[in-house]
Amino acid sequence: MLTHRTIWAHGPATAPLALGCMGMSDMYGPADRAESIATIHAALDAGINVLDTGDFYGMGHNEMLIAEALKGRRREDVVLSVKFGAVRGPDGAFLGYDGRAKSVRNFLAYSLKRLGTDYIDIYRPSRLDSEVPIEETVGAIADLVREGYVRHIGLSEVGADTIRRAASVHPISDLQIEYSLISRGIEAAILPTCRELGIGITAYGVLSRGLISGHWSKDTNNAGFRAMSPRFQGPNLDHNLTLVEALRGVADRIGASVAQVAIAWVASRGADIVPVVGARRRDRLTESLGAAGLVLSAAELAAIEAAVPKDAAAGERYPAALLAHMDSER
């Protein structure tokens, strides 16, 4: 059973791992509804308390799936982390982001209804709306905190300057951002800024969408997001899979799986970092849970760094069109 800890200055007590639920509804091809719900149940039973979702994951499907999974469970045992602001069309296309104050209230109203709850534990804009000052967006969420609809305010994929501006309006619990062995851009300025301000890190993409899970091969179906991800294309994929094989050699010596070593490496970067595992099935969840008890020695960390050096990955983590919306990349 995972132990919950209060590790963020302005956030809730969390387990050392969080469950990302996006893949149960969107972006990675079809998912089994019954298995998805069983996986959420297994995660909660194991002590994971943070369920991460977005109101645009499956255009509301993910929130309704979580609501179904939580029936009969104590609401106070679960930390619901919800992203909002992405605007989508009826064909599923992403049309941009909306961080206006009146839109924040509207997005929240629908999320509360779909989730079957009267409050959200952590509410965060999914991306910075370039046409709306972050102060306006965070100020609108702060009003919802005062009204009791939101407990904590988070951020997602924003840079150091935006983090500081947001924190000047209201305390920020955590920044959700990609962080893995092959995505380490936060180490230069974003992570130090968060630590200076007492803001935690919720690290998604710790397995780089399965690329460094140890289960991926060139024969695996590149469904959904992977079909447009530069790291899964042509020579980039060939190069990146050589890194995975080097990591596998280290994992074999440690006596753990590749995925467990990759997750444990992220966790080793600091007690204020909570890796988000995107398991859609119970067997993958069980494997990920094994990383929680894996403490890497200095020698093992050095071997991991040698196998997968910083900036060793080929290809950007997102397509150029999506990177253009990411304040964290500026």
**57 classed as catalytic:** yes
How far apart, in Å, are the Cα atoms of 262 and each of 3, 10, 92, 203, 282? 21, 27, 32, 12, 19
CA dihedral 96, 143, 18, 25 (to 10 degrees): -40
Given 57, 97, 123, 179, which residue is catalytic? 57
What the block records as the tokens of 286 is 């069980």
Give the distance from CA 83 to its chain's centroid: 10
What are the E-state strand segments in the chain? 18-20, 50-54, 79-84, 86-88, 94-97, 120-125, 150-153, 155-156, 174-178, 200-204, 273-277
Backbone angles phi and psi of 196, in degrees to 5: -60, -35
Tokens of 119: 């409050």
Which DSSP letter does residue 131 get?
T
**Cα dihedral sign for 117, 14, 17, 178?**
positive
**Facing residues of 53 across strands?**
82
Q: Give alpha helix (H) positions in 127-206.
A: 134-146, 160-167, 190-197
Distances (CA, A) of 326 to 175, 306, 318: 13, 29, 10
Residue 120 pairs in a beta bridge with 150
Identify the three-state secondary structure at position 50.
Answer: strand
DSSP class per residue in 221-235: ---GGGGG-GGGSHH
Report d(CA 247, CA 255) in Å as an integer. Answer: 12
- Could you give the residue numbers annotated as active site? 57
